Amino acid sequence: MISILVNDIIPILVIMLLGYLCGKFYFFDNDQRQGLNKLVLDIALPAALFISIVKATRKMFAQDIVLTLISIVGVVGLFMLSYYLDKLLFHRTTQQAAVCALIAGSPTIGFLGFAVLDPIYGNNATTNLVIGIVSIVVNAITIPLGLALINKGQTLTKKKANANPNNKGTKVEVEDIKGKGLNKTKKKVVVTIPDGVPVTDAEAKALKEKGIEREIDLARAEIADHADEPHQPMNPTLKSVINAIKQPVAAAPLIAVILVLIGIRIPTSWAPTFDLIAKANAGVAVLAAGLALSTVKFSIDKEVIWNTFFRLFLTPAVIVAAAYLCGMGSDPTKISMLCLATGLPPAFSGIIISSRYNIYVKEGASSVAVSTVFFAVSCIFWIWLLPILAHMF
């Protein structure tokens, strides 16, 4: 226990603290921070996931089918549980609860997966398979699901607001854009925006000048992003699914799994090429996590405490219980890997979506910050408890 704490956990905390201080003292500007995030999520992590998973075999996949099912059903199920509990306990709207689920219900497997699991369990096919599966679930299932729920909630909000005859709205002057390309024209127009409805970016900007904060409409933002394209904009929910699967962090492990399942082996001579860039993942990811944390202003209330508890303690507890109930007790190491992989701090993609659409921003940012800080406590707690449970069962 002391060895794991000194050799594995403390270095993570020190590097994260270094990233936090670098952010607070403006050692990196915003573009540089985004560059580090891109290096981790689009290059280093996909390379690490790909080369580690293709070293597996179909036999390993067959042996780990229970682990895979627990990962998929557990992560998605707990995502939805976070969503429903936030609506029930804190009376949040559908879209607010969806963003809460993207934060409290999704682990930051991309940033901290390898950094936490590799030092403790070693860089082996099983460890990397766990990280790869959880990464696919978070990036290819829960993010599109969250966006679909946001879109559903905003549609219901607009219907209710427009059906209210007493909703007189707010008059603002916004920039109206007509045409495409060289024929594009701009002019100022006065519009009346019903109170409480999600708005476009231009309307949000105009309302902010009047001191009114408003959600950005997911569907209308998607249409605006593709205004110059000659075809009809794709449904935002469908597009979010396709975009998620196209991201390297989701595509790389998916391709690796497909290659293993159909029996295509990658030559061992290719491994050093992937390994060289993959080695940059853990250190840079933890530094980038510290940088991201430095940009967050947070406060603590009952909802933030609940989100932190749900992310760091309740989620891994449910996963561990499911693993023992499903007969994985003979391999406590895999249960431990799965526990820590699903018990990581909140996924940073959730706070990015929160900021983009101005939904659940304060609570989301606070939940990310507090959970990241308290992960040091939860990680040590699970490393202490899991061996005791292994002896009991």
> What residue segments make up the domains of the chain, in order of their start?
2-158+236-392, 160-225
Give CA separation, 146 vs 98, 220, 226, 231, 257, in Å.
Answer: 5, 17, 21, 26, 25
3-state helix, strand, coil in the chain (%, to 5): 75, 5, 20
Between CA 121 and CA 123 the distance in angstroms is 7
Long-range (24+ apart) CB contacts under 8 A made by 12-15 are: 12/112, 12/115, 12/116, 12/119, 12/286, 13/376, 15/283, 15/286, 15/287, 15/290
Do 221 and 357 contact (CB within 8 A), yes or no?
Answer: yes
Cα(286)–Cα(288) distance, rounded to whole angstroms?
A: 5
Residue recorded with tokens 């820590």:
340
Tell me the C-alpha distance between 302 and 316, whole Å. 21
> Residue 238: its pLDDT value, please?
64
Report the alpha-carbon distance of residue 80 to residue 105 in Å, rounded: 8
Cα distance between residue 135 and residue 351, in whole Å: 17
| Two tokens, residue 52 | 């580690």
pTM score, whole prediction: 0.78
pLDDT by 10s per residue, the chain, length 393: 566 566 666 777 788 788 889 888 888 887 787 777 777 767 877 887 787 777 777 776 777 788 889 988 999 999 999 999 999 999 999 999 999 999 999 898 877 787 788 888 887 777 878 887 888 788 778 888 888 888 888 888 888 887 787 777 777 777 666 656 556 666 677 777 788 788 877 777 887 777 788 888 887 776 554 445 444 555 655 665 666 667 676 678 778 878 888 888 777 777 777 777 766 766 777 787 778 777 767 788 999 999 999 999 999 999 999 999 998 888 899 999 999 999 998 887 787 788 778 889 888 888 888 888 888 889 889 999 999 999 887
Tokens of 379: 């990680």
| pLDDT value, residue 304 | 94
What pLDDT is recorded for position 7? 63
According to the model, what pLDDT value does residue 226 have? 47
Provide the sign of the torsion angle of the four alpha carbons 211, 217, 220, 223, taken in this order.
positive
The structure tokens listed for 5 are 């704490």
Tokens (6 digits) for 85: 């509990």
Alpha-carbon gap, residue 321 to 343, rounded angstroms: 13
- The closest alpha carbon to 93, from 102, 83, 81, 106, belongs to 83
CB atoms under 10 Å from CB of 298, counted, come to: 17
Rounded Cα distance between 224 and 214, Å, is 17
pLDDT at position 8: 60
Q: What is the pLDDT of residue 229?
A: 47
Sort 269 into a burial class: Cβ within 10 Å, 0-12 / 13-18 / 19+.
exposed
- Residue 297 Rama label (left phi>0; alpha psi -120 to 50; beta): beta
Chain-centroid distance of CA 313 in Å reads 18
Q: Collapse the DSSP code of 38 into the 3-class scheme (helix H, G, I; strand E, B; otherwise coil) and give the result.
A: helix
pLDDT at position 245: 67
CATH of domain 2-158+236-392: 1.20.1530
How far, CA to CA in Å, does 252 sit from each of 120, 162, 176? 24, 44, 41
